[in-house]
Structure formats: C-alpha cells, structure tokens
Amino acid sequence: MSVLAGRRVVVTRAADQADELAALLAAAGAVPVVTPLITIVTDQPECTRLAELDPSTFEWLVVTSPNGARHYLDAHRSAPTQVAAVGTATAATLAAGGLHATLVPAEQRATGLLAEFPAGRGRVLLVQAATAEATLSAGLAEIGWHVTVVAPYRSVPSRPTAGEHLAALSADAVLFTSGSAAHAWVAVFGPTTPPVVVAIGPRTAVAATNAGLKVDVVATDHSLPGVVAALERHLAGSD
C-alpha cells in the first residue's frame, strides 16, 4: 500500500490547473484537498503584443514558467533557434506544444539560468509574469543581449471558502508549485501549515521560506510527478 493512502494533501494551484496534480495524488492513494490560492489572469494587450512579434527575429526565447509557456504557445507554434526554460516543468509544457528547450539550467531559477546563459549581442524574447522581478531581464542585458520582455499574465490571490480553509489546515501535507501560491498561503493562513510542506523546486522553496513558511521537502525532479514522488519519499522516511 502506498504511504500516501488516505493522506489528505492540499493542492494550491489555480483552479483551472489543479486537475493534473490532483489526479496524480489520487492515483497514489491520497485524498486531494484542492484549495486554489491563486488565479491566473491574462493580460490581453500583452498577449496581442506577443502574437505580433516575429519569433524569427530573435536569437533566443526565454520562458520562466509553465504559464508563460502556455501563453507563448497560444500566440506561436514556432520559436527562435535557441529556447531556454527556467525549469523542467516549463520545458515540458513547451515540449507538449512541439518546442524543444535547448537550455534548462541545473539550478532551476533565474540566477541559475543566468549562470549558464551565453553572452551575446543578439535579441532575446523573455516571456514572464507581470509580477516577476527584473533579475533575469537585467542579467541578460548585462551580458550583452537586447531583451524584449512580454508579460502576458499575472497571478492574483484567491480567497478560499470557509470549508476550504478548514480542510486545508487539517490536511496532512501541502504542495507548493509556485512562489506566488506560497505567498498567497501566508496572506490567507499566516505561517500555519499542515505537518509537511513540499516545494516543487528551489525557486519555490526560497519564495516560501522568504514568506515565512518552513519547507520540509524540496523535490529534486521539478515536475508535478516529481513533487508527488518527493512527498512519498519523505513520508516513507527515505529522503
């Protein structure tokens, strides 16, 4: 029997993106507690601007999240010769749309990508959230690239119902797949969490820690199956 059998695990992803993670948990025997804490809001003028850009005029496409990848794929089915994804989940979303990421850094965060990104003099198309920090755009510019930033979406907090609030706090574990969800958790619940807190990767873990949460597990495989596997290993005492 899986160590997740009967365990109640909070899924904090946006409501329209929670199904895959909830299904993975259910398949492992867990009881998903879907508590959407963020809503992804599309910025239509920025989407129009993205669609009007010609990918062939850029040397690189850089995408910082699966949401950014989905918005890019909504606008284009081709990309520059070189494509960088900040993490494996972003790369997988691009791959599902037929685009191969030629660079996925070992340290899956902005600073990790900058550490591996080559210096150059061409053009980079950077797709990220409207609320993203300027770390990546500034860093790319510092190593010689001309950066065009497009921000086709933003994450905004959602308020759970009273029932969702109680269910989340009484669960056995909570999974964070983005830093924005961790910040939204603190805005709603404060630093109180279920006994086990799992982050999908180091970038999310840092965001959660900075928000005041104690992270117990950081997935080594920064994907939805990876975060479930990390929780399983932790509960089995093998991590």
How far apart (Å, rounded) are the C-alpha atoms in residues 137 and 102?
19
3-class state of residue 85 by DSSP: strand
- Give the global pTM: 0.77
Q: Do residues 98 and 79 make contact, with C-beta atoms less than 8 angstroms apart?
A: no
Q: What percent of the chain has pLDDT over 70?
A: 99
Which residue has tokens 């109640």? 8
Q: What structural domains does the chain harbor?
A: 8-37+158-236 (3.40.50.10090), 41-155 (3.40.50.10090)
Q: What DSSP element (H or E) covers 75? A: helix 66-75
Residue 46 is predicted with a pLDDT of 97
CB within 8 Å of 18: residues ≥ 6 apart: 11, 32, 34, 36
Please give the pLDDT value at position 239. Answer: 60
- Summarised one tens digit per residue, pLDDT across range 15-59 is 888 898 999 999 999 999 999 988 889 999 999 999 999 999 999
Whole-angstrom Cα distance, residue 23 to residue 63? 26
Give pLDDT, residue 96: 94
Q: Residue 125: beta bridge partners?
A: 61, 148
Express each pLDDT in 209-238 by its tens digit.
Answer: 999 999 999 998 888 899 999 999 999 986
Q: Which residue has the higher pLDDT, 117 or 121?
A: 117
| Alpha helices by DSSP H, 155-199 | 162-169, 179-189
Helix (H) or strand (E) segment spanning residue 230: helix 224-236
- Residue 238: per-residue pLDDT: 64
Query: Does residue 102 carry a pLDDT above 70?
Result: yes
Q: Do the beta carbons of residue 218 and residue 201 sit within 8 Å?
A: yes
Cα 28 to chain center, whole Å? 22
- Please enumerate in sequence order all residues whose Cβ is within 8 A of that of 39, keeping only pairs 6 or more positions apart, or say none: 14, 15, 155, 156, 157, 158
Amino acid identity of residue 45, one-letter, is P
pLDDT band at 187 (very low <50, low <70, confident <90, very high): very high
